[in-house]
Amino acid sequence: MFRIQQGETQILLAHPGGPYFQNKDEGAWTIPKGEPDPGEDLLVTARREFKEEIGLEPEGTFLPLKAIQQKGGKIVHAWGIEGDLDPESLKSNLFTIEWPPKSGRQMQFPEVDRVEFFDLSVARVKINPAQIALIDELEMILLKSDPA
């Protein structure tokens, strides 16, 4: 999701929840994303994951972006969509892990613990480095569509 504020494009990024990311910032943020169900259309997956992780059903015109491959091999398919939301309205789904490790104790954490809109230059520092290409491509699409 992106928005234009005072002529500047801002990107919505999500900070992963859970103990492994609680003290991580630069390079740890991400676009909302997830795995498709078998046979599921990728745009349907993107919309579902956005709703599960952010708590909002994205509506509008979806701008397809080229898929990227993350360091671990995961292929990420993404779309840009113009919109706005109050970061305080975040309602993320939960996941369960053993925490602390080898304790035998299961704990629940939000999949996303916070979201924030960032100017493009800041977003490029905050986002998982493999996803910078998504920001770059979205910026190019928006520049080409700007009548000014």
Mean per-residue pLDDT, 9-24: 97
Which strands make up the sheet holding 8-16, listed edge to edge? 2-5, 8-16, 112-119
pLDDT over 70 for what percent of the chain? 99
Q: Is the peptide bond before 87 cis (omega within 30 degrees of 0)?
A: no
Residue 146 pLDDT: 72
Chain segment 40-55, per-residue pLDDT in tens: 999 999 999 999 999 9
Alpha helices per DSSP H over 8-74: 42-54
Amino acid at 135: I
| 148's tokens | 């000014």
Q: CB within 8 A of 110, min separation 6: which ones?
A: 17, 18, 92, 93, 94
Alpha helices per DSSP H over the chain: 42-54, 120-126, 132-145
Q: 147 pLDDT exceeds 80?
A: no
Amino acid at 143: L
Chain segment 77-127, per-residue pLDDT in tens: 999 999 999 999 999 999 999 999 999 999 999 999 999 999 999 999 999
Domains of the chain: 2-145 (3.90.79.10)
Chain segment 130-143, per-residue pLDDT in tens: 999 999 999 999 99
